């Protein structure tokens, strides 16, 4: 995420899904999961190109 977001100055946050029962129920085994503005854009494997497209 850092390699995708930082060059464009995009802020991002890592969230511990296991620390939040609601997130754990919602995402379960999809960790890691990536959301952009609340929309899920990937899980299990981080696809930099897919994330870049979602950010722009």
Contact criterion met (CB below 8 Å) for 55 and 5:
yes
Q: What is the pLDDT of residue 9?
A: 93
Query: Containing domain of residue 9, as a range?
Result: 2-55
The model's pLDDT over 16-53, given as tens digits with 9 standing for 90+, comes to: 999 999 999 999 999 999 999 999 999 999 899 999 99
- Joined together, the tokens standing for residue 30 give 């999809």
Q: What is the pLDDT of residue 5?
A: 92
3-state secondary structure the chain: CHHHHHHHCCCCCCCCHHHCHHHHHHHHHHCCEEEECCEEEEECCCCHHHHHHHHC
Tell me how many domains the chain contains: 1
Q: What is the pLDDT of residue 40?
A: 95
Q: Is the pLDDT of residue 56 over 90?
A: no
């Amino acid at each position: 995420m850092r390699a995708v977001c930082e060059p464009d100055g995009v802020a991002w946050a890592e969230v511990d899904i296991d620390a939040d029962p609601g997130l754990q129920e919602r995402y379960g085994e999809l960790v890691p999961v990536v959301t952009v503005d609340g929309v899920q854009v990937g899980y299990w494997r981080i696809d930099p190109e897919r994330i870049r497209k979602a950010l722009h």
